[in-house]
Structure 1
Amino acid sequence: MARYQAYSQDQGKFISVFFEDQLLPGTFEHALNHIVDHELELDIFLTRYKNDKCGRPAIDPALLLKIVFFAYSHGITSSRKIAVCCQTNIVFKALSADTMPNFTTIAHFISSMEAEITPLFRNILLICEGMNLIGKEMFAIDGCKLSSNASKEQSGTHAELEKKRKKIEQNIKYILKIHSKEDKTYTAAAVEDLSTKRAKQIEKLRAKSKTILDFLSENEERIGISGKAIKSNITDKESGKMPSAHGVVQGYNGIATADAKHQIIVGAEAQGTGSEQEQLKNMIETSLENLENVSASPPKKEEIVILADNGFHSEKNMKYLIKEEIDGYIPDRQYRKRDPRFADADRYKKTINGKKIKVKYFVPKDFKMDKDLGLPICPGGHAMYLKNQNFVVKGKKGISYIAREKNCSGCPLREKCLRKPNTKARQVTFFSGKTAENKKSATRQMIEKIDTQKGREIYGHRMGLIEPVFGNIRSNLRLDHFSLRSQKKVNIQWLLYCMTHNIGKIQRYGQIAA
């Protein structure tokens, strides 16, 4: 029978290590070490330190940058874990020259980079431009919604939070009431034990109530783009509650602009709102400004192609693209319904017991017009009354009718008529055409443009351009949540991850000296 040498990995060994030998050519750490030591301009960090005459020498920002970028490339965001890696991992030791900074030094370095983060991001872009990795012709913009270091349960409008606070106060009164009854029922020893538990409960509830009260008194109501109040968060007031592909998250939307040539990120920003419509103009101008700072021949607005999904579509944004003469391809929410390639998409819908899920609500054609009354009759047989004879929305004009509340309240067809249970009465509008001034809106022009064969072909590049960028950041770099609080700090972390992505592109497609 064959015999093999015994081995055990559960042991240590004293060996002579040369740090440079640990950074193998072709690896991310080798590219990172070369970029930080020979390519980056680190004078931007000089103003952070005032120890030229006295005080302890500071850890070189070059070493801290190497540590942070390498940690982020492995999905390590905790400053404590990064500090441990610097003590135990040979590659971390090689990059940091065995410096072993304290976790507080690492945490402060990251969270205080607000002034340096944009110049640093542009410096990485400058390296990409020098290696001809940026095409500067076609760009895709999209957002990646991630949870942050904030409690989703601590979210709500000011009215909702005040309601929650009052409920807590009611719970306190209820506990005190129960406590009073227990005094008369139980023995003195049992009452004393219960009193201690009740006191702790009340203390916690009062602390929660005070936290909410302090937040409401110190912070103004957040107002969304529609002019209505939106949810605030007590833990991180700048974060937002937003729907994502992974459910509803309390966090930030990491938006990025990627170039088509090698998927280099040329612009990035984290925002505490799920609405992407208001970010399009800012992302285009930020990306072009970054390219102007790093390129000898920056692209002009009229020379680029912008791709984005329907989350960025709005009449205002379409007008902006037309005004700036930007060749943009941003579909509306009905784009796929008009696309003949998705004509049979219904066959892929989920089924229950072999039957397709199909919820059918009454549409305007189900409301028959009574010629004698001049009013529509609802499917329940009740006449509706006129609400607005000159109803106008999105350039369309029509006549709006509404049912009586008493007819809708007990109607057996209510579930098929009203989409929301709390709606008191059904409304229906019969559109007759478009307003004179909106015969061809900016949205209509975009629809006609993107519905052509050329438009669909160009827009088809979007998913393959931007989605792999987020796939790399979320899966390979393992960013599944933001570990910091406040928009300023989260933006720093998002830009650091985008730079880590770009350094990976330099490693794969650039020319790094061996």
Structure 2
Amino acid sequence: MNFDVDAVIPEDGKVRLVCNIVERMNLSTVLSAYSSKGRKPVLDPITFLKVILFCYSEGIFHSRKIETFCKFDLRGHFILGGKKAPDHSTICRFEQMLADHSQDLLTEFVQLLQEDGHVDLKTLYIDGTKIESTANRYTFVWRKSVEKNQKKLMDKIICELGLPDGSTLDEVEEHVKDRFKEVRNLCSRNRIKFVYGIGHRKTQEQRDYERLKEVMERFSAYRNHLMLMGIRNSYSKTDHDATFMRMKEDHMLNGQLKPAYNIQLASSGAFIVGVMGSQKSNDLHTLKPFLDQMLPAYGKSLKNIVADAGYESEENYGYLEMKNLTAYIKPSNYETKKKRIAKQNIGRRENMIYLEDKDVYVCKAGKHLARGRDRKTKTASGFVDTVWTYTCRECEACPHASECIRTRNNVNSTHKSIQFSPSFEQHRMQSEANIMSDAGINHRINRSIQAEGAFSKLKDGLGYTRFRHRSMKKVVSDIVLVALGINLNKLHSKILNNQTEIIAYKKTA
């Protein structure tokens, strides 16, 4: 049937919005990368990007389904403008090319939103979620198992070859290599013929050769495992960048660990403005690298960072203070200290009297907890913090000892000790005051709606619950494209509803 597709598409249709947005974006890097492939392109990159973004906004992620959309959907024909529909392999190649420029596309789109007054980027609402990798679930490699087997093999070789007890792993491996070369040369000089199978008897030289070769291969495999693992405690054999994490979506209902990535999203004005992938299951160590990624593009506008209790640490507080950013981070003890059991716990530092002139805490029995030697703590990222320690050694005959002293490792301890970081407590008090202010209450409301709402749109709205690619680079690129699709849906909804102001929710009276 020959008819004008343009007449069928409504003027306020989302497909027209996608085309307008892509044509406004600066795609110089994408154009240069696409033209440098050395082959005649089936479809120009601008039209290709329109197809990809519109399909992602509709929850169409697989290349074969995108190909079907281009062939049989009127909206696909509108975007192509009479050009031939690309096949699924061409679509895959284009998506792989976009992996190097996906973050630039998101930044460019956010700048357009800022120009049009949809976001101001003064406040970022940050949250994270775990999404399962496409790696097999039972391909785990654990650090403890590798290190244990490596140590057992090293001790066994030290005993077999008569090496000194204090030999290091490198010395043992080097000695095994030298011994292997000697046996190999011996077999070559004596022209020993290796035999295999039933009915053949191996010589001692062949047995030594095979044994040393096996040991060398095992040492090499252990080193390779630890190298791929890096600072992590696990990785997947079929997706080396995936780390085994505890997921909420548990198909066996037994708290099973699955290969996954920790995806961080930053929202502003109900739009996703930042995406980062992490191999750490905890959000605690993701805030600094995430902001380091976004500050070059948005640093002049950023003022407030809103996050949940999973991001609270002295290192993060200090980082935000150094960058002149106001922290609206909910303290991890915010809910706990409001409970009656916490208020009645005489062993808590908050329930003791502090004498500033003597620098001591006074417990319920009137005993003094004097300050001892300060202790330095160092995090995995290298951050050093100072911890103050206050101790009372007169608790042996105290009638309140059972209530006051509650330690995991030493139930029968005869002294009370409290430890805390004064710098951390100061930052925590300031952050708590921030979230309790009128502006802080509104920020918390927006964080729960915008940051967590973005994951709801991702998983429930678009059905994106498991990655389709392997490796961190491809995974992050895919999420960025999905984030662009979500942003296009939100922008189209705002235009239809004639919403011109920045979306910000406030506490109702």
* d(CA) in 2 for partners of 1:270, 1:440: 30
CA contact (8 A) 1:143 1:253 kept: yes
Q: How does 1:12-411 map to 2 (within 5 A)?
A: 15-36=1-22, 38-49=23-34, 55-97=39-81, 98-160=83-145, 216-219=222-225, 220=227, 222-224=229-231, 230-247=233-250, 248-259=257-268, 261=269, 263-291=270-298, 298-299=300-301, 301=302, 304-339=303-338, 395-397=387-389
How far did 1:236 drift? 1.0
In the alignment, does 2:468 pair up with 1:475? Answer: no
Change (3 A) 1:395 1:126: same
**Preserved contact between residue 131 and residue 511 of structure 1 (Cα < 8 Å):** no
Partner secondary structure for residue 120 of structure 2 = coil
- Cα shift at 1:102: 1.7
* TM-fit CA distance, 1:484: 0.8
SS at match of 1:25: coil
Cα distance, 1:476 vs structure 2: 2.0
**Is the 8 Å Cα contact of residues 161 and 212 (structure 1) preserved in structure 2?**
no
Q: 1:35 to 1:323 in 2, by over 3 A?
A: closer
Distance 1:330 1:221 in 2: 34
Given the two structures, how large is their TM-score scaled by the length of structure 1?
0.63
Query: 1:482 offset after TM fit, Å?
Result: 1.4
Q: Kindly indicate whether the alpha-carbon contact (under 8 Å) linking 1:267 and 1:290 is maintained by their aligned counterparts in 2.
A: no
Letter in 2 for 1:264: F
Q: Pick which of 20-29 and 70-79 moved more.
A: 20-29
Q: Distance in 2 between matches of 1:215 and 1:241?
A: 20
Question: Could you list the runs of 5+ residues in structure 1 that have no partner in the other structure?
Answer: 1-14, 166-210, 293-297, 345-362, 366-388, 402-416
* Contact 2:57/2:484, CA 8 A, preserved across alignment: no
Structure 1 CA distance for aligned equivalents of residues 74 and 126 of structure 2: 38
Q: Deviations over 1:176-230 (max 9, x none)?
A: xxxxxxxxxxxxxxxxxxxxxxxxxxxxxxxxxxx99986453416354xxxx51
SS at match of 2:335: helix
The whole-number CA distance in structure 2 between the counterparts of 1:46 and 1:275 is: 38
Moved more, 74-83 or 437-446: 437-446
In the TM superposition, what whole-angstrom CA distance separates every residue of 1:76-104 from its partner, at most 9, and x where no partner exists? 22212222332333322332335221211
Is contact 1:144–1:255 with CA below 8 Å preserved after alignment? yes
Distance 2:73 2:218 in 1: 44
CA contact (8 A) 2:391 2:418 kept: no
Unpaired runs of at least 5, structure 2: 151-216, 251-256, 349-371, 378-385, 394-405, 498-509
Q: 1:240 Cα deviation (Å)?
A: 1.7
Write out per-residue CA displacement over residues 285-311 of structure 1, whole angstroms, 9 at most, x where no aligned residue.
43343336xxxxx42x5xx22110111
Report deviation, 1:337: 2.0
Q: Return closer, same or farther for 1:434/1:61 CA change in 2, 3 Å cut-off.
A: same
- State how far apart, in whole Å, the 2-side matches of 1:327 and 1:313 are: 13
SS in 1 for 2:286: helix
Query: 2:17 is aligned with what amino acid?
Result: A
User: When the two structures are aligned, how many residues end up with a matched partner?
Assistant: 378
The Cα shift of 1:256 comes to: 1.2
- The C-alpha deviation readout for 1:134-169, integer Å capped at 9, x for no partner, is 13322200112111211221123244368899xxxx
What do residues 313-340 of structure 1 show as CA deviations (whole Å, max 9, x unaligned)? 1111011122333211112322222357
Shift, 1:501, TM fit: 1.6
Q: What is the alpha-carbon root mean square deviation over aligned residues?
A: 4.0
Q: In the TM superposition, what whole-angstrom CA distance separates every residue of 1:449-490 from its partner, at most 9, and x where no partner exists?
A: 546676455434321231222212222222112111101111
Shift of 1:264: 1.6
1:426-457 Cα distance to aligned partner (Å, 9 max, x none): 68695444579659543454345546676455
Contact 1:154 1:233 in 2 (8 A): yes
* Distance in 1 (alpha carbons) for counterparts of 2:34 and 2:305: 41
Distance 1:51 1:215, change over 3 A: same
Quote the Cα distance in structure 2 between the aligned partners of 1:453 and 1:432. 37
Aligned equivalents of 2:337, 2:271: Cα separation in 1: 32
Distance 1:137 1:327 in 2: 10
Task: Measure the CA separation in 2 of the matches of 1:430 and 1:452.
Answer: 40
Give the direction of change, closer, same or farther, for the CA distance of 1:81–1:327 in structure 2 (3 Å limit). Answer: same
Q: Structure 1 residue 57: deviation in Å?
A: 4.1
**Residue aligning to 1:407:** none
**Could you tell me whether the CA contact under 8 Å between 1:128 and 1:510 is conserved in 2?**
no
- Cα separation, partners in 2 of 1:34 and 1:158, compared to 1, 3 Å: same
1:204 aligns to what?
A: none
**Bigger shift: residues 89-98 or 103-112:** 89-98
Distance 1:131 1:428 in 2: 64
Q: Give % identity.
A: 20
Give the distance between the partners of 1:488 and 1:436, measured in 2 at CA.
Answer: 38
Partner SS state of residue 450, structure 2? helix
- Classify 1:451/1:291 alpha carbon distance in 2 versus 1 (closer, same or farther; 3 Å): closer
- Report the Cα distance in structure 1 between the residues aligned to 2:414 and 2:135, rounded to whole angstroms: 42
Return closer, same or farther for 1:440/1:275 CA change in 2, 3 Å cut-off. closer
State the secondary structure of the residue aligned to 1:334.
Answer: coil
Output the TM-score relative to the length of structure 2: 0.64
Contact 1:254/1:268 (8 A) holds in 2: yes
2:277–2:476 CA contact under 8 A, matched in 1: yes
CA contact (8 A) 1:25 1:31 kept: no
SS in 2 for 1:251: strand
